[in-house]
Structure 1
Amino acid sequence: MLPRLTLVLGGAASGKSAFAEGLVVNTGRQRTYLATAEIYDLEMQAKVAKHQEMRGKNWHTIEVPLDPGRVLATISGDQVVLLDCATMWLSNQLLAENDLEQATLELTRGLSNCDAPVVIVSNETGLGIVPGNALARRFRQEQGLLNQLLAAQADLVVNVIAGLPQLLKGTLP
């Protein structure tokens, strides 16, 4: 059985989304996909289309680039939620120049108030070089803090590298 909150971490193209989708599909529950990506160019459009194709048609998708917490609080316990991904959500918050502390509070509150199991996908960005500009350095710092906060709240934390899951916290279902 999937725990209340699962965090799936990994680098770019590590297989984290596919692993997270597998966790969700294996529950047998109605699947809700909370999409945080915003499409600004053809590259992102192609990436989103690829993810949609990988998931297939048996998902209810809700676009929540800025406020997934509000939606999470409304989801019934007979569903399972995949929030993909916290990294895009953070990027959206920073680019919109929103109050990040308040937005994070609303996200964690929504996670706490959600009756359904939730799987969150997030990038591990702290393993690379120090970025060359202030916004990128702030993003990397905030992503690390967000991942720590989500991992503390999660019952299960998995890091995916080269498609291979590494258990960091909890027990895999």
Structure 2
Amino acid sequence: MSLTLLTGGARSGKSALAVRRAQRSGDPVVLVATGQARDEEMADRISRHQAERPASWTTVEAPLDLVDACAALDPGACVVVDCLSLWVSNLMEHGDDEETTLDRARALAAWATAYRGSVIVVTNEVGLGIVPMHPVSRGYRDRLGRVNAVLAREAGLAQLVVAGRTLTLDPQED
């Protein structure tokens, strides 16, 4: 029914905004999480995110098979995907090349635009800073930027979140 993309820097308020919007939807909410608690710091981040959302929400963990996990969801929910940044990192670590990652992103966008319910996708904007020194970091920045562009192209609403405030991005021109 509708795809919203929320992008911005780390700790900019993207996830909190997605939670508030999902709560206001009035629909059952499914949070599709891509993060993995591989260390204490990440486990703490995940715990903080869990504390921000109602216990009544359904959580689906999909660190790699995001598209399959989303495709298995019943229609009519408000789906929050949090976040593409970790998903792309997981796919790179898994060994996916860029084209495979972009194919997965296109499949996610196709699912989201066809889904009978609302979909809110959270992602980081990592291309605004300095050019990373390491080739892997540059590859990640470039790949995530391309994945974000795939989703933004299909989104009915794309917003940049800065300090908890939003800036609506113009639709892509043909």
TM-score w.r.t. structure 2 length? 0.90
Runs of 4+ with >3 A deviation: none
Structure 1 residue 117, shift from structure 2 partner: 1.6
In structure 2, which of residues 60, 69, 85 is the aligned counterpart of residue 87 of structure 1? Answer: 85
Distance in 1, Cα, partners of 2:108 & 2:132: 31
In structure 2, which of residues 47, 50, 66 is the aligned counterpart of residue 49 of structure 1? Answer: 47
> More deviation in 104-113 or 92-101?
104-113
Query: Could you say which residue in structure 2 is the equivalent of 1:168?
Result: 169
Query: Could you say which residue in structure 2 is the equivalent of 1:6?
Result: 4
Residue identity (%): 35
Is contact 1:7-1:151 (8 Å) kept?
Answer: yes
- 1:121 is paired with a residue whose SS is strand
Distance in 1, Cα, partners of 2:118 & 2:106: 14
The alignment status of 1:97 with 2:104, answered yes or no, reads no
Distance in 2, Cα, partners of 1:26 & 1:78: 14
Distance in 1, Cα, partners of 2:71 & 2:109: 7
In structure 2, which of residues 15, 18, 37 is the aligned counterpart of residue 17 of structure 1? Answer: 15
The alignment of Structure 1 onto Structure 2 pairs a total of residues equal to 168
Distance in 2, Cα, partners of 1:82 & 1:23: 10
Structure 1 residue 23, shift from structure 2 partner: 1.3
Query: Could you say which residue in structure 1 is the equivalent of 2:76?
Result: 78
Distance in 1, Cα, partners of 2:101 & 2:11: 27
The alignment status of 1:69 with 2:67, answered yes or no, reads yes
- 1:8 is paired with a residue whose SS is strand
Q: Which amino acid aligns with 2:141?
A: R
Distance in 2, Cα, partners of 1:85 & 1:106: 14
TM-score w.r.t. structure 1 length? 0.91
Query: Could you say which residue in structure 1 is the equivalent of 2:140?
Result: 139
RMSD of aligned Cα (Å): 1.5
Q: Which amino acid aligns with 1:166?
A: L
Structure 1 residue 28, shift from structure 2 partner: 0.5
